[in-house]
Structure 1
């Protein structure tokens, strides 16, 4: 009998369909399909080899042991878990579902979060990057469409000017085109030489720090309002046992980063206003009556307009760069009367962007090294090539000896603090165009965690498989490779996974319909 590895030999099978037929014709096919169920749908599952043991939880006694050589294909399959839709659509689908629950529970409660959070003031804010140069854009001055998802409204001219002219580099300073939504020119500079690529990658690199300071400024603004309105601060006991005075309100957030077509990051943030309970600082309590959603909205706008930071000196820019938010800071209320934003819409919107990275810009690559950076970076190339080149150039080693006897104590300390170059991380994140943060973050108290959702799902699967709670599975496993053994295996496993998912979806719809009928009858 041929083994799965024989499928690669000439004459045994040709093409994906032949490989799939060969696999399906084997007597072990049903067992193999069940064995690969946990990784079904994954584009590049991880293959592991080693020993799997069943251990009694209380005593630690080994009840049984099995080596992966006894399993189909001689390996254990595990889904890759990649959150990026461009890399693995199935794992990204699971991640997006978890992201949706994380965001929604922070708005409505559930899964351990009290439902009272649904009464807390919440705003949805969008923080954008400033302009680093003129780019092609698509603007619709007035929407007449029924839904934005299928918008067919006519856009305005891109960069119309009363008098046409050229920039200092001889490029046109105007664009009268009405760009389509999929026009590849969108986000591209009108003049590559006028565009400040270095400033943009530095902004991407430090946008996380800018957000941290903005969040602090929002809370300080609300604390000052409480003082002016006579709302008393509360005495809380820290984990170390010390007593301190704390503002009566705090802000919890859930944040998603989105890469724009011009390759600048902007943030979509949910900000929820909570109160601080003196007897239980970790509890989620509705805010004081003296602080409203109007105050939260004002605090966001004030902080966005005032908070800036100046970066450390760089040999190419001794005065540093100014990092600030752009002028387009949009703040909207959730579930307001006549508003378009609802809890479910916002949660779905943020979950969608949690599975994306740099796809909108057209660039996708793994982490760059000195051996691969020349394939992408070019100081005279297109927009993306210049951004990657700026990351690599600004992140170069710039260390000078500041430990000699002639150096002052401040100089020596500065050298230690910056570790030779405060911009060294730009090279690490050159493949992300300077942005090194995670694309979905939240405050600790905002909602549930991804780990809790995954643990709950694993517990459910164990119960579904009738595994005893007194027995745990311990694996001593080693990585041997990634991906399916052949395209035919991928076709069979992923098709079975899609069928299971479709059955689950139909079952949920039937249960929801039955519940609706029961409620209507009552």
Structure 2
């Protein structure tokens, strides 16, 4: 039996009637790629395919959209009228064919769950795009507001291998540790060998690299971003000739930001920065006249270049530091339509960029087996131990929880954030999706056609809840029963992604 011929629903949901094998060599359109499995995992896959409850299992898999690590729950819930106390409906996991309820894990990281990360990326795309072009309760007039795409990086902590011609120069020059300070090699992706792209982000001399400052900068990066927003507000207020405390009566700055790790393991920020008018009860107003996107770009560049943060040492043996952003600052104008300027970006481009970055994990672009990553993790553990000892005499130490963020290489901020009035929230989008699914189910049951586009405002409305959901649930664990059950949703999610990419390419033709 050729497992690669098992078919998946291209939309990402599984239908057990479509999981079939064409023994006569039919088309492999929609086939799952399972030929890479080990014999043991393949045996588990076959056992699941021929099991008596396979239909119920695929229905459970469809409900979680091919989630690789769903949460398993057992219990009951009741929907109660908040005014009268009447029980409107009830649900029990015992009524489910498997006796267990599966719920999406909701992990944003593509490395952990491809399906849930795609859903998260889609939500982020719509959230970000709405703040650029309007829609999703955001007025379309925002498309005419000054808008920038800015990238703020970490400073240099020592020379690392870079793409392209890497540090050309005099090969005879040496660092204090006797190692060359130049490379001269053109590192390229996909090139194998000891001097290939595998060196990207690795220090030319690990002993010269300031690992302690790297970790400390990472730890305070969220605070440095906050200082940047304050500096930008003050610069804008100064330009408009108003006090900083009164800027909200004239103009406001809104943003959506995601964090991404560079190959050297240092985080940098990608942000959409939009200028609006004063705060109004009715929503978003037009910005003041005379403030163009180019002028705003100058203010952003000035704020990012001058902001600084003074932080104490980890302990008495450490030194205080002055933290700043790196000199590699990129600020580009965004247009809501296809720009004439090649340097300008479109709304779809930036929404796609930020949505993609939001699903990456800390070590996606860092070689997990590299000595550089091990040195970073060792430095975090060492600084954490020193901080714990120092906190015994000074409980106000800002480094007390450093060790809790070792997996994030010391970065303790959120990977995706936005200002309050930039656009809709992820919570609104998720509630809208739940409402849409309920209405679609009701439409199918009654045979009544439904136009969700005309109901968008209703779906996104923050309605006051008139019912309460009272649940009693027991957590049973996370993930599927075995590697065979995990392999099927993993392959189905990969095929769904390929199908979506095929459709996107066909639309661009």
The residue number in structure 1 matching 2:98 is 73
What is the DSSP-based 3-state SS (H/G/I as helix, E as strand, rest coil) of the residue aligned with 1:421?
Answer: coil
Could you tell me which residue of structure 2 aligns to residue 104 of structure 1?
129
TM (normalized to structure 2)? 0.78
Cα deviation digits, residues 479-510 of structure 1 (max 9, x gap): 10111123443455566677888899999999
Larger radius of gyration: 1
Change (3 A) 1:186 1:493: closer
1:67/1:261 CA distance change after superposition, 3 Å: same
Q: Distance in 2 between matches of 1:254 and 1:499?
A: 30
Superposed CA deviations along residues 108-142 of structure 1, whole A, max 9, x for unmatched, are 11111111111100011111111100111113xxx
Q: Secondary structure at the match of 2:118?
A: helix
User: What corresponds to 2:452 in structure 1?
Assistant: none
Structure 1 stretches of 5 or more lacking a match?
1-13, 140-155, 236-243, 365-375, 403-414, 514-522
SS in 1 for 2:313: coil
C-alpha distance in 1 between matches for 2:83 and 2:437: 21
- The alpha-carbon distance between structure 1 residues 180 and 246, as it changes in their structure 2 partners (threshold 3 A), is closer
Scaled by the length of structure 1, what TM-score is found?
Answer: 0.76
Displacement of 1:59: 3.4
Secondary structure of 1:210 counterpart: helix
Corresponding residue number in structure 1 for 2:182: 174
Instruction: Give the unaligned 5+ runs of structure 2.
Output: 1-38, 191-196, 446-464
C-alpha deviation, 1:180, in angstroms: 1.1
- 8 Å contact kept, 1:233–1:248: no
Equivalents in 1 of 2:408, 2:89: separation in Å? 46
Of 347, 350, 363, 2:351 maps to: 347
Which residue is 1:150 aligned to? none
Equivalent position of 1:464 in the other structure: 440
Please state whether the residue corresponding to 2:412 is helix, strand or coil.
coil
Aligned residue in 2 for 1:299: 299
Are 2:396 and 1:382 aligned?
A: no
What is the total number of aligned residue pairs between the two structures?
Answer: 439
Match of 1:479 in 2: 475
Equivalent of residue 261 in structure 2, options 256, 259, 265: 259
RMSD after superposition: 3.3
Contact 1:41 1:498 in 2 (8 A): no
- Which residue number corresponds to residue 50 of structure 1? 75
What is residue 210 of structure 1 aligned with on the other side?
A: 224
- Inter-partner Cα distance in structure 1 for 2:312 and 2:101: 49
Measured after TM superposition, the shift of residue 423 of structure 1 is 1.5
| More moved, 386-395 vs 355-364 | 355-364
Partner residue, 1:186: 200
State the distance in 1 between where 2:481 and 2:361 align. Answer: 28
- Please name the residue that 1:432 is paired with: 408
Distance verdict in 2 for CA 1:420–1:233, change over 3 Å? closer
Which residue number in structure 1 is paired with residue 423 of structure 2?
A: 447
